[in-house]
């Protein structure tokens, strides 16, 4: 019996051939055949990571992909596990993260279904449940269809703009004896198509427009998904003296670079050209919002020229509205910015060398931007000192304390930016420092685990500035880090509230004349206050807190960092001001 091969062994052969390192799972009988094949036939490769919830499994894969640009597997049990994971899959989709979701259904052969349980756990065309926010899904009907569909799915997942795919394997199909040879894709076959290069004529036109501009500004969103994109953007900005606004879906540009104008919209107020690089969210940087009335007003002069270089409407969904508001660009170039930015820089260098008027203009623009950046940095440093000794701790004080503790380490910030105070006060000098800002509530902790897993072998100090409301969604995920030896420093941003929504209720109260004092109802996380340090210790973490006075933070951080360096995850529960 042990010498026999099973159909699920073939799936493991494919996981090995494509180099999938980990598989995050919540157990389920629908993939018991695959589970056995991974553990025994495959030697626990990909390595199984046991999770308490399917959302956590997908989020770990999401965080891993944000860091590495490569997929890992999340295995979901039948229809019910797929439905549990829905929100995490959606966020991976809108965050352009390649996640290989493997699922199961059936048996589709009705004669092989167990009474009731296999019926309620199966669906006709099961991939339809997530089809609107995955790049592709497929359910092969015979084992011979598995290799071809796997190869196509991997290619679709990894072709830009990247995103999750779903491969659904019939439960009975997995459990069949493999009674004939099924060829795998050739070892020398391309896994992913080549990158998309820009139209040379269109790129030359863009270079001409940029060279002619007096006050150009760059917006970058996903440029930094690859390290070479980060470095290429620095070269482009320095070559032409163009200020850069980082949307922060990935870390696209060094935070302390003199040309970094993030966290301020001043550069757009007099811009005569806006260059969007791999940017879908162009609007937040260039408009002002009156939240209570939802009024959006542009700060960019109406006669400014707009250029877009990126993937445009590739991957556009007719269901999810993540594509945001359309813009009438003067020039729209479909291209991978990893290729297009260096090519554009080369064209601009040639123009600069040929036009004696350009170098002094660029130098003056660079100096003016650098001077304005220094003023902003100095102001943020001063602002951070306001209420420095207040208890509970202010967010700038917490950001400052953590920075002092980690700045000499090879550090990484996972997702949350502490209301952007880390982006204002820390020096994000290398591409790996930050894989991009957090998404919705109930996403940050799981993604942070994936980020920490991706950096584990580099022995980097991975820090999660963790909101309390987010962690309460899946506090059991702390056990995953302890179980699988994922070192992570969690510093709680614990204001004992879902305060983002609390602020919305305050806005409504002021607008409608209702009592502001009642805005906390349905928003506070108090009475009783969750004890995050006790929860963490119960799951194998080192933990301290709650810490209300800022004077106790520095020493607690040093003790926690020592534990993380030894391989144990650590949590410091710091109580913070509401804002």
For residue 248, which of 284, 299, 288 has the smallest C-alpha distance?
Answer: 284
DSSP 8-state class, residue 260: B
Are 103 and 169 in contact by the 8 Å Cβ rule? The answer is: yes
**Alpha carbon of residue 391 to chain centroid:** 32
- Look at residue 75 in the predicted model and tell me its pLDDT: 98
Are 178 and 5 in contact by the 8 Å Cβ rule? The answer is: yes
Domains 200-372 and 384-575 share a fold: yes
- The rounded distance, in Å, linking the Cα atoms of 32 and 40 is 12
- Look at residue 499 in the predicted model and tell me its pLDDT: 67
CA atoms within 13 Å, Cβ hemisphere of 46: 25
Per domain, the residue ranges of the chain are: 7-174, 200-372, 384-575
For residue 257, which of 428, 434, 436, 437 has the smallest C-alpha distance?
Answer: 428
- The rounded distance, in Å, linking the Cα atoms of 439 and 562 is 30
What backbone phi and psi angles, to 5 degrees, belong to 447? -60, -40
Supply the pTM of this predicted model: 0.95
Sheet architecture: strand order including 244-246: 244-246, 216-220, 273-277, 305-310, 331-334
Are 172 and 275 in contact by the 8 Å Cβ rule? The answer is: no
Which residues, other chains included, contact 113 with Cβ-Cβ below 8 Å and sequence gap of 6+?
Answer: 106, 107, 119, 122
Structure tokens given for 458: 């580099």
Give the orientation angle of helix 337-354 with respect to helix 200-212, to 10 degrees.
Answer: 50
Are 304 and 273 in contact by the 8 Å Cβ rule? The answer is: yes
Give 384-575's CATH code, choosing from 1.10.10.60, 3.40.50.970, 3.40.50.2000, 3.30.565.10: 3.40.50.970
- The rounded distance, in Å, linking the Cα atoms of 495 and 485 is 29
- Look at residue 108 in the predicted model and tell me its pLDDT: 87
Are 159 and 346 in contact by the 8 Å Cβ rule? The answer is: no
> Three-class SS of residue 247?
coil
Residue ranges in 20-77 assigned as alpha helix (H): 32-36, 54-68
Are 66 and 95 in contact by the 8 Å Cβ rule? The answer is: yes
What backbone phi and psi angles, to 5 degrees, belong to 393? -75, 140
Structure tokens given for 424: 């204002």
Residues recorded for the chain: 579
CATH class of 7-174: alpha beta
Give the orientation angle of helix 337-354 with respect to helix 358-383, to 10 degrees.
Answer: 130
For residue 532, which of 481, 467, 484, 486 has the smallest C-alpha distance?
Answer: 467
Are 184 and 14 in contact by the 8 Å Cβ rule? The answer is: yes
Q: For the chain, 579 residues long, give each residue's pLDDT as a single digit of tens.
A: 567 899 999 999 999 999 999 999 999 999 999 999 999 999 999 999 999 999 999 999 999 999 999 999 999 999 999 999 999 999 999 999 999 999 999 888 888 888 988 888 888 899 999 999 999 999 999 999 999 999 999 999 999 999 999 999 999 999 999 999 999 999 999 999 999 999 999 999 999 999 999 999 999 999 999 999 999 999 999 999 999 999 999 999 999 999 999 989 999 999 999 999 999 999 999 998 887 788 889 899 999 999 999 999 888 887 888 888 888 999 999 999 999 999 999 999 999 999 999 999 999 999 999 999 999 999 999 999 999 999 999 999 999 999 999 999 999 999 999 999 999 999 999 999 999 998 888 899 999 999 999 999 999 999 999 999 899 998 999 999 999 999 999 999 988 777 677 778 888 888 898 988 888 888 777 789 899 999 999 999 999 999 999 999 999 999 999 999 999 999 999 999 877
Show the 3-state SS of 306-352. EEEEECCCCCCCCCCCCCCCCCCCCEEEECCHHHHHHHHHHHHHHHH
- The rounded distance, in Å, linking the Cα atoms of 500 and 579 is 10
**Alpha carbon of residue 90 to chain centroid:** 12
Q: Is CATH 3.40.50.2300 the classification given to domain 200-372?
A: no
- Look at residue 320 in the predicted model and tell me its pLDDT: 82
Q: At CA 170, angle to CA 188 and CA 147, rounded to 5? A: 10
């Amino acid at each position: 019996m042990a010498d026999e091969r099973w159909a699920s062994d073939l799936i493991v052969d494919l996981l090995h051939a494509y180099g999938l390192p980990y598989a995050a799972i919540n157990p389920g009988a629908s993939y018991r055949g695959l589970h056995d094949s991974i553990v025994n036939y495959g030697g626990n490769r990909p390595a199984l990571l046991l999770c308490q919830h399917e959302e956590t499994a997908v989020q770990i894969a999401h965080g891993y992909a944000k860091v590495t640009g490569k997929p890992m597997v999340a295995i979901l049990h039948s229809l019910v596990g797929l439905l549990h994971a829905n929100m995490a899959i959606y966020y991976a989709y809108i965050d352009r993260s390649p996640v290989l979701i493997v699922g199961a259904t059936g048996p589709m052969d009705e004669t092989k279904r167990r009474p009731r349980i296999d019926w309620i756990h199966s669906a006709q065309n099961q991939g339809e449940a997530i089809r609107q926010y995955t790049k592709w899904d497929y359910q092969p009907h015979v084992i011979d269809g598995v290799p071809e569909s796997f190869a196509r799915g991997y290619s679709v997942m990894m072709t830009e703009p990247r995103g999750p795919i779903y491969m659904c394997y019939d439960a009975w199909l997995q459990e069949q004896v493999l009674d004939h040879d099924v060829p795998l894709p050739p070892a020398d076959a391309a896994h992913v198509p080549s990158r998309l290069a820009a139209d040379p004529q269109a790129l030359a036109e863009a270079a001409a427009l940029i060279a002619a501009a007096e006050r150009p500004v760059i917006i970058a969103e996903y440029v930094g998904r690859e390290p070479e994109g980060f470095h290429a953007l620095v070269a482009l900005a320095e070559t032409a003296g163009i200020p850069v606004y980082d949307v922060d879906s990935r870390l696209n540009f060094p935070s302390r670079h003199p040309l970094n104008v993030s966290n301020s919209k001043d550069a757009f107020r007099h811009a005569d050209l806006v260059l969007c690089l791999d940017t879908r969210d162009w609007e937040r940087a260039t408009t002002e919002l009156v939240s209570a009335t939802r009024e959006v007003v542009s700060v960019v002069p109406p006669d400014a020229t707009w250029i877009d270089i990126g993937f445009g409407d590739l991957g556009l969904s007719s269901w999810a509205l993540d594509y945001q508001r359309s813009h009438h660009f003067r020039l729209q170039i479909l291209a991978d910015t990893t290729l297009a930015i260096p090519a554009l820089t080369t064209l601009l260098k040639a123009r600069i060398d040929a036009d004696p008027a350009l170098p002094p203009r660029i130098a003056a623009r660079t100096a003016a931007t650098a001077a304005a950046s220094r003023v902003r940095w100095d102001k943020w440093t001063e602002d951070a000192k306001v209420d420095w000794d207040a208890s509970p701790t202010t967010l700038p004080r917490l950001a400052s304390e953590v920075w002092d503790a980690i700045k000499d380490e090879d550090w990484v910030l996972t997702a949350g930016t502490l209301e952007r105070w880390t982006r204002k006060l820390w020096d994000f000098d290398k591409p790996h420092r930050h894989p991009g800002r957090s998404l919705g509530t109930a996403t940050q902790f799981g993604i942070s685990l994936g980020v920490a897993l991706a950096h584990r072998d580099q022995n980097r100090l991975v820090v999660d500035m963790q909101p309390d409301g987010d962690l309460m969604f899946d506090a059991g995920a702390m056990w995953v880090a302890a179980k699988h030896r994922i070192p992570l420093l969690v510093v709680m941003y614990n204001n004992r509230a879902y305060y983002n929504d609390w602020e919305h209720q305050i806005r409504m109260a002021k607008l409608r004349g209702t009592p502001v004092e009642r805005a906390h109802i349905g928003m506070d996380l108090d009475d009783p206050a969750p004890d995050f340090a006790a929860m963490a210790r119960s799951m194998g973490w080192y933990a301290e807190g709650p810490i209300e006075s800022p004077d106790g933070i520095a020493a607690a951080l040093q003790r926690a960092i020592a534990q993380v360096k030894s391989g144990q995850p650590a949590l410091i529960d710091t109580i913070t001001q509401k804002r």
